Amino acid sequence: MKEQSYVIAAIVEHKPGVLHTISNMFRRRGFNIESITVGPTEQGDTARMTITVKGDENIVEQVIKQMRKMIDVVKVARLDPAATVIREMALIKVHTPDTRARSDIINYADIFRARVVDVSQETVMVEITGDSEKINAFMDLMRSFGVEEMARTGITALSRGTKSVRIE
């Protein structure tokens, strides 16, 4: 089977140790987490995890089955990329040796609908949000200027329309 990326959404109890327990299950089973984001849901006692795993259909089904067995997991589902809004955010600090480079970076940021969030004599920091391909394309442009630092959030995702992964 062909290896690809899958996005899994899980509603879990919002308490200490849950992230460790779930990531430990991945480790024990030999599954690699490509990215993971966690944050509270609209209900204060639960959190939403968005996990990206790379593998084939069998691996993702195994992961979901294992997660459903876990006490702290309330609900888990694989998200259909065609029916899901997927976003990631990155902060990128770029070297600006002169005003021309600074101007070019600001123009690229405008084209990519990114925001300049900090400027110093020698660097510009840009915040960019979008799908991973958009962020990768922007990063490719910034490499020619010299990327000083970068931080990416990993993806977060919600199903489009009325379909949702939440407690009924």
Tokens of 33: 């987490």
pTM of the model: 0.83
* pLDDT score of 166: 65
**CA–CA separation, 136 and 20 (whole Å):** 29
Per-residue pLDDT of 67-88, as tens digits, reads: 999 999 999 999 998 899 999 9
Place of tokens 């949702």: 164
Over 90: is that where the pLDDT of 44 sits? no
Say which DSSP state 99 is in.
Answer: H
Q: Is 162 exposed, middle or buried (0-12, 13-18, 19+ CB in 10 A)?
A: exposed
CATH topology of domain 85-156: Alpha-Beta Plaits (3.30.70)
Sequence ranges of the domains in the chain: 4-79, 85-156
Q: Is the pLDDT of residue 42 over 80?
A: yes
Domains 4-79 and 85-156 alike in fold = yes
For residue 167, the model assigns a pLDDT of 65
Cα dihedral 40, 56, 67, 6 in deg (nearest 10) = 10
In terms of CATH, what superfamily is 4-79?
Answer: ACT domain (3.30.70.260)
